[in-house]
Structure 1
């Protein structure tokens, strides 16, 4: 009887351990999703990367405006034409990530530093949250809500 109880206990702890590792892995994937999406869409001004990181029905709520993939594409395609193109470096500080049943939300602070010829021309700060869903192609952002924070 003691052997059976020991085996059952061992199985329970092993299952819990695997579950915790899966959650840690998902949280890491979601943190990477946020960082890469900003780097590969907004820093690179590359609208071709939208499908890789955003769902088809993605919404960006920023500063009282509602953007979708089409309006983001239009913005990025116009921004590429303006010269000189500033270099944008993002700093993302994750506040929290919650994952449940193929859905997630992420809260984070976002800072972007814009430079031209290695001179800072602008700094911007946001407090943001995002929702993501697990698709057959991995995690994708479904919505992002952005609130500008005064420059420090």
Structure 2
């Protein structure tokens, strides 16, 4: 196995550790694995594009890639592709959080705030890592669209 280090915000590391453990071995039978496997590159294919990541907010998260996967796809994740992974994981996390809040409110009359805070607590995400206000504002923008799709 070859280890690769991703750089993620701490709240996404907690989310990934809860769902997938660490080191995460990407597989082609789950959404996260498919995305990561398609981003892997060989060293000779790495673009010269320079992406400046925000080092102060990112922390290491380990992936393990099998030798056969390494031979087929490579094992390099350039910093610009790491940024795409951060966006993807964050989007996945928020969609799940918002979907659960809408469904819990509709079926069990649990207030949105309670659902969101309980979900954050389940992933051990603190207010300092991801503020409720940030989540609330994003949720309020997307709530109607989610309700239209889920509660037809």
Higher relative contact order (CA 8 A, sep 6+): 2
TM-score normalized by the length of structure 1: 0.30
For the pair shown, which has the larger CA radius of gyration, 1 or 2? 1
Higher strand share: 1
Greater share of residues in helix? 2
